[in-house]
Amino acid sequence: MRKRKWPWIARQVWDNLLFMHWPVPYEALRPYVPPPFEIETYDGQAWVSVVLFEANGNGPRGMPGQIPFSSFLELNVRTYVNFNDEPGVYFFSLDADSPVAVRGARTVFSLPYIKADMTFEKNKEWRYFESRRTHGGYPEARLSVKYRPLSEKRYYAERGSLTEWLVERYCLWTLKGNNIYKGPIYHTPWDLQEAEADWNMKELTDFTDPSAFKKEPLVQFCETKKVRFYPFEKYGVAETNFDELRNLKYRSLNR
């Protein structure tokens, strides 16, 4: 992880976090990732991950406590990219049940946040998460999943392993118009638990070949993680316009 240019500006806590990772052909993803970003592969295989969590403890640096009404649920779909020799993630979509979070992220950072109705419940054994997209102009993508850790044992990713490659990433790459931006974050290394999940997913990943997601994913759980956010950093100008690519994804979803 590279040294950050400026101090962190905001904090958040991710609770009851679930990773579901699928291998996907590189060629299937290339049309939906901006050309400036290199799609990374592990042993020649690209990956797409669906990640969901509770976002709590939101607040700017210097303000104690949590901002009122700032907790929300989030569901994102991402792949793994590199720009400027720095690995990161690229988000195809970020669904959330907070209109404030959706509006702010879309306006300020041009991130593809999408409004959705979401619920989360848990008991002693299982956690239950449901999401139904309600954002105007988008397909009504859905996800229903129940999940649980398989044991209390926690582990850290081995150096060079697929798990390290998937989860130990500390920035996002995106375009705002034609401008290339990096969104840095910081947290301690992931303390993961092996997990299982039973899910039903519709249209959430249909920008690419849906058959890839009929396979069993690699599933991981993390109970809680404190995160720090840093100011976005501009890294250059791209030839491809992000809005044009977003329209391409929309057309693909409706094919």
Q: What is the residue type of 251?
A: R
How many Å apart are CA 118 and CA 249, to the nearest integer? Answer: 23
pTM: 0.91
Residue 123 CA: distances (Å) to CA of 21, 131, 150: 25, 19, 14
What phi and psi, each to the nearest 5 degrees, are found at residue 254? Answer: -105, 15
Write the pLDDT tens digit of every residue in 3-55. Answer: 677 898 999 999 999 999 999 999 999 999 999 999 999 999 999 999 999 99
Alpha-helical regions (H) of 35-98 = none
**pLDDT digit string (tens) for 54-107?**
999 878 866 665 665 568 999 999 999 999 999 999 999 999 999 988 998 898
Strand-pairing partners, residue 89, are 80, 172
Q: Which residue has the tokens 């303390």?
A: 191
221 Cβ partners below 8 Å, 6+ apart? 17, 18, 19, 147, 148, 149, 192, 193, 194, 195
Question: For residues 46 and 13, is the Cβ–Cβ distance under 8 A?
Answer: no
